[in-house]
Amino acid sequence: MVQKQSVSSLVHRNGAAALRCISYEPRNGINRNYQTDQETDSQDSNDSFTMEVRDTLHELREFLRESKRKMTEDEEEEEAKEDWHFAAMVLDRFCLYFFTVVCGGFIMIVFL
């Protein structure tokens, strides 16, 4: 004979009382939950709220990932721009010194 235990309890959820029966059959390891319609509706509304929150958090996470990616790209572009600016400044100084030496050389040749 299968040993069967039943537990009935009064569960208060959202200010309303709902009857909940739990059957447990230890030999087969079967666990059955029987719930009233009111309790199921409450769980459905909680599940839909949970899904909305999960969807919102998913959208927020995707937005933050995209923002982070865009900021990283912007920072890389800014670093590349600064590198080219530095290279242009070095070339400009080189040309200035070269022009100064050439002009100074011509002036010395002409006046000496």
Q: Are strands 30-34 and 5-13 parallel, antiparallel or unpaired?
A: unpaired
CA 31, 32, 38: angle at the middle one, nearest 5?
Answer: 145
pLDDT > 90 fraction of the chain, expressed in percent and rounded: 53
Place of tokens 């982070």: 68
The answer on 56 and 3 residing in a single domain is: no
Q: Do 31 and 84 lie in a common domain? A: no
DSSP string, 65-87: HHHHHHHHHHHHHHHHHHHHHHH
- Mean pLDDT (the chain, rounded): 76
7 and 26 within one domain? yes
Full domain range(s) for residue 30: 1-35
Q: Is the pLDDT of residue 11 over 50?
A: no
49 plus 14 within the same structural domain: no
Rounded to an integer, the average pLDDT of 78-82 is 96
Is the same domain home to 30 and 85?
A: no
Residues above pLDDT 70, as percent of the chain: 61
E strand map for 14-69: 16-25, 30-34
